[in-house]
Amino acid sequence: MEQPVVLQRIDVDHIRQDFPILTRTVNNKPLVYLDNGATTQKPKQVIDAIIEYYTQLNSNVHRGVHHLSQLATDAFEVTRRKLKPFIGAAREHEIILTKGTTESINLVAACYGRAFVGPGDEIVISAMEHHSNIVPWQMCCEERGATLKVIPINDAGELDMDAYRSLLGNRTKMVAVTYVSNALGTVNPVKEIIDLAHGVGAPVLLDAAQAIQHLPIDVQALDVDFLAFSGHKMYGPTGVGVLYGKEKWLEAMPPHQGGGEMIKEVTFEKTTYNELPFKYEAGTPNIEAAICLAPAIEYINAVGLDQIARHEQELLEYATLRLLEVPGLRMIGTAREKSSVLSFLLDGTHPYDVGVILDKLGIAVRTGHHCTQPLMDRFGIPGTVRASIAMYNTKADIDALVAGVERAAAMLL
């Protein structure tokens, strides 16, 4: 077999030492963690920051005059400040801190929907969306009397761009697509998607839940209108996420939730709303998660997204070649542009059974429909086994996976 070109351009051994959980065993076997699409592990820099927060800073943000509250507020705003260059935003106040991708998309579907979608209008999504980028738009369409249009895909799991062009028109009020498919790994041609949508005057929301940790993203270069992602999939804590929105949309949309932080002045007659970004940040946020997202961003920056992408790409190619050597293994998602997801089926077996055997071997993968039931229907399958790669994975992890899948095939067939 052909050996992959130098894998260790980033110092993976060194990186692994920063992730304490990677040294533990599962079922008396060294942990092989390949469920990064679901959530990534956290480096000690993030874990230490969480301890530091609760031992030194804990206080509510944006309200108090006292010392701790100011420290917590400053730390909270550091995250927003770091996010700005990380995604290439023009303004800090275009960055709304939410609890995750799902909340970010729901916010846009609700608020944009209320302001800009009416009867007869159309929302375009794709056949490979996560439920989090389907259901909010279905709810929006139901409420507003609009219609959901779906861009079909080919058997490789690539968008049919001709079909996309023909779906666009003057009724299109939003195009909401995923940057990278969580179930197939397909990297979509997002710049072309955005330019075509803008050609008919429609804004674009990108679900970047599976892109932000793998690819450098520049919202201004893309000219994207909304971008949504989660902290926990980018080596940060759970309970924090991001909604980037162009100022013009965030100004024009009504607020999402009412309550503390999002008000300027409240009387029983009328409430005026706070300025951006606070207009969309009602209530006490997940303060420690927001603050501890900053070290995760710093960590990614220190390793470098280009380097991460190259490393993961090499592992993806190696894993694809090795897995395809397993008799009866069928890869689902064979797009030309792919990110670090390997979704597959073993003929004659159920994904769940393969997952259970891999778990006995200490290998963590995900099995099932991956919150993409319509996509699984498109392929006529109940689900897949999904291995998803992060910066700390190694060729040895892939070898363990392949050996585990071979073992599962021997046991189940």
Q: Is the CB of 98 or the CB of 349 nearer to ligand PMP?
A: 98
Residue 213 sits in the site that holds ligand PMP (CB under 6 A): no
Residues marked as catalytic: 371
- Radius of gyration over every alpha carbon of the chain, rounded to an integer in angstroms: 22
Q: Is the CB of 72 or the CB of 190 nearer to ligand PMP?
A: 190
Give residues 279-338 in contact with ligand PMP (rule: CB under 6 A).
Answer: none
Site string for ligand PMP, 21-60 (x = CB under 6 A): ----------------x-----------------------
Question: How many Å apart are CA 70 and CA 81, to the nearest integer?
Answer: 16
The sign of the dihedral angle between the CA atoms of 111, 114, 116, 120 is: positive
Site string for ligand PMP, 159-188 (x = CB under 6 A): -------------------x---x------
Q: CB neighbours of 302 closer than 8 A, spacing ≥ 6?
A: none
Shortest distance, position 353 Cβ to ligand PMP, whole Å? 23
Residue among 36, 40, 79, 102 that touches ligand PMP (CB under 6 A): 102
User: H-type helices in 12-154, by residue range?
Assistant: 12-17, 44-52, 67-87, 101-116, 135-144
Question: How many Å apart are CA 41 and CA 17, to the nearest integer?
Answer: 12
Quote the strand ranges of 100-188, DSSP E.
Answer: 122-126, 147-151, 172-178
Partnered with residue 147 across adjacent β-strands are: 122
Per DSSP, the residues of 276-290 read TTGGG--S---HHHH
Residue 281: both structure tokens together? 């940040």
Shortest distance, position 139 Cβ to ligand PMP, whole Å? 16
Query: How many other CB atoms are there within 10 angstroms of residue 390's CB atom?
Result: 26
Give residues 227-246 in contact with ligand PMP (rule: CB under 6 A).
Answer: 230
Query: How many other CB atoms are there within 10 angstroms of residue 70's CB atom?
Result: 15
Give, in degrees to the nearest 5, the angle at Cα 154 between 148 and 158. Answer: 80
Q: Is the CB of 178 or the CB of 349 nearer to ligand PMP?
A: 178
Question: How many Å apart are CA 140 and CA 202, to the nearest integer?
Answer: 16
Q: CB neighbours of 257 closer than 8 A, spacing ≥ 6?
A: 282, 283
Question: How many Å apart are CA 75 and CA 193, to the nearest integer?
Answer: 36
Only one residue has tokens 């801190």, namely 97
Q: Is the CB of 104 or the CB of 274 nearer to ligand PMP?
A: 104
Site string for ligand PMP, 55-74 (x = CB under 6 A): --------------------
Interface segment toward ligand PMP; rule CB under 6 A; list 48-56, 94-102, 274-282, 341-349: 94-102
CB 351 within 8 A of CB 302: no
Site string for ligand PMP, 333-372 (x = CB under 6 A): --------------------------------------x-
Residue 101 sits in the site that holds ligand PMP (CB under 6 A): yes
Residue among 59, 79, 132, 274 that touches ligand PMP (CB under 6 A): 132
Q: Is the CB of 72 or the CB of 87 nearer to ligand PMP?
A: 87
Interface segment toward ligand PMP; rule CB under 6 A; list 129-137, 165-173, 298-306, 328-336: 129-137
Residue 209 sits in the site that holds ligand PMP (CB under 6 A): yes
Total of residues contacting ligand PMP (CB under 6 A) = 14
Residue 130 sits in the site that holds ligand PMP (CB under 6 A): yes
* Binding interface with ligand PMP (CB under 6 A): 37, 100-102, 130, 132-133, 178, 182, 207, 209-210, 230, 371
